């Protein structure tokens, strides 16, 4: 799982500085976890996002944005509560925001419902 700066967001996701109409530039669906180091629920969500990043590798990209370091980026999406998780489909559909930490199963359901990406089959 990678961290996104404002510049990386503009290059990999959406150029919010120069475009007014939503236009996702990535190749795969994306989940962006807006967090802060001091946020307790964010710390609980972090290992879940790490697990999802590994499980959906190559199918869904998962990034983290530190709202303390990237205030302009957080402001562009109206982030007022954290954790906030942004789901960005790869087609032209608008992104969807989830506020607050959810269970891993709920994120898997959202990945399936929003992105149409089925849960990976565990290999033993």
User: CA–CA separation, 109 vs 124, rounded Å?
Assistant: 22
Per-residue confidence (pLDDT) for residue 98, from 0 to 100 = 94
Tell me what pLDDT residue 22 has. Answer: 87
In the annotation, is 39 catalytic?
yes
C-alpha distance from residue 122 to each of 55, 61, 104, 105 (Å): 9, 19, 15, 14
CA end-to-end distance (rounded Å), the chain: 23
Dist CA 60 CA 90 (whole Å) = 10
Predicted confidence (pLDDT) per residue in 23-73, tens digit? 899 999 999 999 999 999 999 999 999 999 999 999 999 999 999 999 999
Tell me whether strands 96-99 and 2-3 are parallel, antiparallel or unpaired.
unpaired
**β-pair partners for 54:** none
Specify the CATH number for 2-14+27-114; select among 3.30.70.100, 1.20.272.10, 3.40.30.10, 3.20.20.70: 3.40.30.10
Looking at residue 122, what is its pLDDT? Answer: 66
Neighbours of 86 (CB within 10 A): 18
Q: Which residues pair with 84 in a beta bridge?
A: 34, 99
Instruction: Verify whether residue 42 is a known catalytic residue.
Output: yes
Query: Distance between CA atoms of 67 and 83, rounded to whole angstroms?
Result: 10
pLDDT tens, position by position, 1-22:
799 999 999 999 999 888 888 8
Distant-in-sequence, close-in-space partners of 120: CB < 8 Å, separation ≥ 6: 55, 56, 59
Q: Which of 4, 13, 42, 88 is labelled catalytic?
A: 42
Catalytic residue among 39, 52, 73, 101: 39
**Domain ranges (residues) in the chain:** 2-14+27-114
Convert the pLDDT of each residue in 65-108 to its tens digit. 999 999 999 999 999 999 999 999 998 788 999 999 999 999 99
């Amino acid at each position: 799982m990678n961290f996104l700066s404002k510049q990386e967001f503009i290059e990999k996701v959406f150029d919010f500085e120069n475009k007014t109409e939503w236009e996702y530039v990535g190749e795969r669906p994306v989940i962006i976890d807006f967090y802060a180091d001091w946020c307790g629920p964010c710390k609980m969500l972090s290992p879940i996002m790490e697990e999802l990043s590994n499980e959906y590798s190559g199918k869904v990209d998962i990034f983290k944005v530190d709202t303390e370091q990237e205030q302009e980026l957080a402001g562009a999406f109206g982030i007022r509560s954290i954790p906030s998780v942004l789901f960005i489909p790869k087609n032209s559909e608008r992104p969807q925001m989830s506020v607050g930490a959810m269970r891993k199963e709920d994120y898997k359901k959202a990945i399936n419902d929003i992105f149409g990406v089925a849960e990976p089959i565990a290999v033993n």
